[in-house]
Amino acid sequence: MIASIQAKTQIPLSSHYLIQLCDQRYSQSTQINNIAINSNVGVTNQSVPDEVASTLGLSERRVQYIYVVLNLVMQQALNNHYIAFNPCSSVKKPKVRQKGNRQPREDGSISTYKIISDNEYDHIMEGTTSQMFKALYALAWDSGMRDGELLGLTWRNIDFKKGAVRVSQQVSVTKAQGVHITPRLKSQYAYRTLDITPSTMDKLLKHRGYQERHKQPYGLSYQSHFDLVFPKLDGTPKSPADVSSRFKRTIRRLGIDDELSFHSFRHTHATHLAELGVHPKAIQLRLGHATPEFSMKVYVHKTERMEQGIVDLLILRQNRHVVKSSQCTTDNKKIKLRISAKP
């Protein structure tokens, strides 16, 4: 339809019209505002205005998706000489604006998640009786791994001698496959090896012993081939939603801040690293992000600990400068004395 219109008119079409033609939910009788097609001047509005999503009842993400798909179709049609001009080429790509809940919080992060305090973590660990969930929470606190990465972790990817875990797969949930294991991680940066503290490794060892004892009643029905560290009772992959809901029930039972979520562990770990003065690049690599900027902007929250010691460091820098200046003055005096002492 678009090709026939373009072939006849040779006029670039506006974003509104392209979206209407692409989305089958809208009939040809849908009114399109702010559009003016003229054989001499073309389209007066070449960009996608802010009100497109609300006018057509589409989300900004969907508008962008439709544009991308349509542009690919039109470009291929142009390459195959079906049309003389790609109507999308004169239309600016729609942008997806940051939502209101992505505005900076008081703690400096643009995330909607809150971090877990030391006292809250201790309370959670004391109130958790399951050895598996104790180990899970400890590893989440100690590594900052994503929930899918934690649930996809296998025993063969834990090096107890070196105190490290290797992230190479994750649990994913799709309509077609349900809860399943996939080697495809979020990005190439997600494949990483993380050093873990001895205390967390001890909790993992205890959990391993518990898991081995738990397997015995299941016999051959236990799905050992998955080799998962945090599986369901029968050894099959556990859904991230199950972990999140259990965490919510735990903090509500313990009377802890209800705004916390299991994903808060990841934000907390990133913030702790920043508090310790870890380089942003190292934080990015540990979290498995593409850039340090994203890690620092989204995952690192401002805390009082970050402010502590800054003045002391500035004083130390100032004192070093004073010492260097005094040393230079002393050295200059010595040189002058040696010169004046020469016959």
Domain boundary among 72, 90, 108: 90
Whether residue 137 lies inside any domain: the answer is yes
Question: Same domain, yes or no, for 223 and 273?
Answer: yes
Question: Same domain, yes or no, for 58 and 130?
Answer: no
Does residue 22 surpass a pLDDT of 80? no
Number of domains the chain contains: 3
CA 257 to each of CA 114, 252, 264: distance values in angstroms, whole numbers, following the listed order = 9, 8, 11
Question: Same domain, yes or no, for 21 and 126?
Answer: no
What does the pLDDT average to over 317-321?
78
Question: Same domain, yes or no, for 194 and 327?
Answer: no
Whether residue 252 lies inside any domain: the answer is yes
Question: Same domain, yes or no, for 140 and 282?
Answer: yes
Label residue 51 by pLDDT band (50, 70, 90): low
Average pLDDT in the chain: 81
Per DSSP bridges, beta strands 164-167 and 192-195 are antiparallel
User: Could you tell me which residue, 240 or 52, shows the higher pLDDT?
Assistant: 240
Question: Same domain, yes or no, for 168 and 294?
Answer: yes
Whether residue 259 lies inside any domain: the answer is yes
Does residue 42 surpass a pLDDT of 90? no
Question: Same domain, yes or no, for 159 and 183?
Answer: yes
Whether residue 98 lies inside any domain: the answer is no
Global pTM reads 0.65
Contact 271, 300 (CB under 8 A): yes
Whether residue 105 lies inside any domain: the answer is no
Q: Which CATH number goes with the domain that contains 283?
A: 1.10.443.10
Question: Same domain, yes or no, for 291 and 329?
Answer: no
Torsion of CA 155, 168, 116, 179, to 10 degrees: -80
Torsion of CA 196, 200, 203, 208, to 10 degrees: -10
Question: Same domain, yes or no, for 27 and 159?
Answer: no
Question: Same domain, yes or no, for 247 and 187?
Answer: yes
Whether residue 107 lies inside any domain: the answer is no
Domain boundary among 52, 70, 90: 90
What does the pLDDT average to over 71-81?
91
Cβ neighbours around 181 below 10 Å, total? 17
Of 57, 199, 216, residue with least CA distance to 121: 199
The residue segments making up the domain with residue 246 are 118-305
Whether residue 102 lies inside any domain: the answer is no
CA angle 202, 204, 210 (to 5 degrees): 110
What does the pLDDT average to over 115-143?
97
Highest mean predicted confidence (pLDDT) among 8-22, 99-113, 138-152, 288-302? 138-152
Question: Same domain, yes or no, for 280 and 131?
Answer: yes
Domain boundary among 71, 90, 109: 90
Give the percent of the chain with pLDDT over 90. Answer: 55
Whether residue 97 lies inside any domain: the answer is no
Question: Same domain, yes or no, for 66 and 139?
Answer: no
Sign of the Cα pseudo-torsion (202, 204, 208, 210, in order): positive
